[in-house]
Amino acid sequence: RHQSFVVTADNRYIISTGYWDKSFRVQNTDIANITQVLYGHFDIVTCVCRSEVSISGNCFLATGSRDCTVCIWIWNGTKGAIVDREYPNQGYS
């Protein structure tokens, strides 16, 4: 089983992978609770990384899976949550 994690720039959240239900999770370090369980892959999510952070605390997260896909997610630093998913190539011909 592969497992990885990243910490947000403010050190308040941990994003972790490696769950058998094909999810990855966001945990608040202040209260030690899982605040989000996210799905977007068809196999176990094995890795996660984050981009540089904007002045507002926003960034991109990339997750990779054993299904050979990479998903791009948008982290909102103000909300302390993943708020959207990017869909590269959608709408382009």
Q: What is the DSSP string of 24-67?
A: EEEEETTTTEEEEEEE--SS-EEEEEE----TTS-EEEEEEETT
Mean local confidence (pLDDT), 29-56: 95
14-29 residue pLDDT tens: 999 999 999 999 999 9
pTM: 0.86
Mean local confidence (pLDDT), 28-55: 95
Q: Edge-to-edge strands of the sheet including 81-86?
A: 45-50, 59-65, 70-76, 81-86
Q: Which two tokens stand for residue 6?
A: 């990243």
